[in-house]
């Protein structure tokens, strides 16, 4: 009998699962999830634009070409390496909850969870203000030049990719009963096929207004009035005033040292420090000696995740409303305490958050320019297309990030007016000896800190190059408590859709 084995194509170098060789360039680099968007970013760099200019252009184009993951109706977070000052800058361009919506309203409706779709999950979209803040600090070209490529494609059209076609159809099947959804995302059509030409002239008009009149047209002008009036008509609370008073925040990234490398994340209301907590726990173990994909590698990784995610559920929230003990959570001393709960031979079946005294769809992109400036940027609508709330004539849907508030009282992430919800989207950066080493990020909601840690382990512990590290099979562990109040049953270790093989699950 002939024996057959499943394997990847033959390679002259590199690991077997690698899809291609690394991309290497001298004068700049753009990484995104769509080839046309990547080309737009490269073109901006060739025109003399900065890394931030290119990142904004790429993000704007992805809002058109991948509306199932991002857009002007969502939030944005970024870490920027500024070559002249040799310093990292963090931007939180997340929006806040409506000031007129109170926890009592959810109780009166008998809700124990904020609905995924509809007006109650909508918070202020921070993306456009994030673009402008980044541009004001690090931009070179005009916003008209930066947004023009997307305006062009929104009018002329572009061919839909296979993945976006499928996701778009799935999103519309759930949201088509809401006003303006079909008119915006499928005018004169009932379905899309791979390769169909997609246009969004309404989005082109909105981008042109921002290019001509600036960010205030979005937050204080005609666009803000349209959004506020539409949400009111749908029984929601996001208002013109909520938009008009919105601001982004420049914040200091936080870091931990992992085997000589400084790993940087943004502090809460995002979940970036979860990656730092996990790394602090894992640093104790000699992962390289165990080998990639070994039972020990899987075991210690998942155990670190379990411990960290219980802290995430208890402590991570908007620091303007809750005390978040960031420095304690990411300290080596605290990680040493938590590490004592790990059994080398058995999986834990239940853990609690540490005691501290006094206390779903997304895009990621990164750009570097020839001067050495770099930006790590992530932006999201949260669930697929978003909340279903599509203001008339604007060409985009508002996100539903407010779903991630907890409706349980007296928690760090409990809903409150004017509060930022717990956020899953997180950019990351690594430096070594004060110099840039890697600008990176992943997509995937709760998975993101797990993904960050795995990229870091793959490169630092297992000696992979960036392409191999990104292509490697990834571990996703479902379970542990969440900051929005849903305690999920821990169901052990498993591999995500990139799995090439399965490893046995640890059981107690």
Q: Point out the residues that are catalytic.
A: 362
The CA-to-CA distance between both ends of the chain, in Å, stands at 39
399 touches 123 (CB < 8 A) = yes
DSSP line for 220-274: TSHHHHHHHHHHHHTT----HHHHHT---EEE--EEEEETTEEEEEPPTTBSHHH
**Tokens 């060789």 label which residue?**
21
Question: 109: Cβ–Cβ under 8 A, 6 or more apart, which residues?
Answer: none
Tokens of 200: 């969004």
- SS3 of residue 381 by DSSP: strand
- Give dist(CA 73, CA 397) in Å, integer: 6
**Secondary structure, 3-state, 382-429:** ECCCCCCCCCCCCCCCCCCHHHHCECCCCCCCECCCCCCCCECCCCEE
What is the rounded CA–CA span in Å between residue 136 and residue 60?
17
Structure-token match 């210690």, residue found: 300
The HSE-up count of residue 483 (CA atoms within 13 Å, CB side) is: 32
CB of 398 within 8 A of CB of 418? no
* Partners of 376 in the β-ladder: 79, 366
Residue with tokens 């059994």: 343
Query: Tokens for 320?
Result: 């303007």
């Amino acid at each position: 009998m002939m024996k057959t084995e499943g394997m990847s194509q033959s390679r002259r170098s590199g690991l077997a699962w690698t899809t291609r060789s690394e991309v290497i360039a001298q004068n700049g680099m753009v990484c995104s999830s769509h080839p046309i968007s990547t080309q737009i970013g490269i073109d901006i760099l060739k025109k003399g634009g900065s890394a931030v200019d290119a990142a904004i252009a790429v993000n704007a184009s992805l809002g058109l070409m991948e509306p199932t993951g991002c857009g002007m109706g969502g939030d944005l977070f970024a870490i920027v390496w500024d070559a002249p000052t040799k310093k990292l800058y963090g931007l939180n361009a997340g929006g806040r909850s409506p000031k007129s919506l109170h926890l009592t309203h959810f109780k009166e409706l008998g809700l124990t969870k904020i609905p995924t779709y509809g007006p109650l999950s909508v918070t202020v979209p921070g993306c456009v203000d994030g673009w402008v803040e980044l541009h004001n600090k690090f931009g070179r070209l005009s916003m008209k030049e930066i947004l023009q490529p997307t305006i062009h494609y929104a009018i002329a059209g572009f061919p839909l990719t296979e993945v976006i076609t499928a996701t778009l159809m799935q999103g519309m099947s759930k949201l088509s009963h809401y006003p303006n959804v079909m008119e915006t995302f499928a005018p004169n059509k009932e379905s899309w096929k791979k390769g169909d030409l997609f246009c969004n002239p309404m989005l082109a008009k909105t981008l042109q207004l921002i290019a001509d009149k600036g960010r205030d047209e979005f937050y204080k002008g005609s666009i803000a009035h349209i959004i506020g009036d539409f949400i009111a008509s749908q029984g929601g609370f996001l208002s013109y005033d909520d938009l008009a008073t919105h601001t982004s925040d420049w914040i200091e990234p936080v870091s931990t040292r992992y085997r000589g490398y400084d790993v940087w994340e943004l502090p809460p209301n995002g979940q970036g420090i979860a990656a730092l907590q996990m790394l602090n726990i894992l640093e104790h173990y000699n992962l390289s000696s165990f080998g990639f994909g070994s039972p020990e590698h899987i075991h210690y990784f998942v155990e670190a995740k379990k411990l960290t995610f219980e802290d995430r559920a208890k402590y991570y929230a908007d620091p303007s409303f809750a005390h978040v003990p960031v420095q304690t959570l990411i300290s080596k001393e605290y990680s040493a305490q938590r590490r004592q709960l790990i059994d080398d031979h058995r999986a834990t079946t239940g853990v609690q958050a540490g005691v501290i005294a006094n206390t779903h769809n997304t895009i990621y992109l990164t750009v570097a320019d020839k001067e050495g400036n770099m930006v790590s940027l992530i932006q999201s609508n949260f669930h697929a297309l978003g909340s279903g709330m599509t203001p008339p004539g604007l060409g985009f849907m508002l996100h539903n990030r407010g779903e991630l508030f907890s409706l349980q009282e007296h928690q760090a992430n409990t809903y409150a007016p004017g509060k930022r919800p717990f956020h899953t989207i997180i950019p990351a950066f690594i430096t070594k000896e004060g110099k840039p080493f890697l600008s990176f990020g992943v997509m995937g909601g709760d998975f993101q800190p797990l993904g960050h840690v795995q990229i870091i382990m793959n490169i630092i512990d297992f000696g992979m190059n960036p392409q191999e590290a990104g292509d490697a099979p990834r571990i996703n562990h479902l379970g542990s408590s969440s900051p929005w109040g849903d305690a999920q049953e821990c169901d052990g270790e498993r591999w995500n859709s990139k799995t090439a093989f399965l490893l046995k699950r640890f059981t107690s």
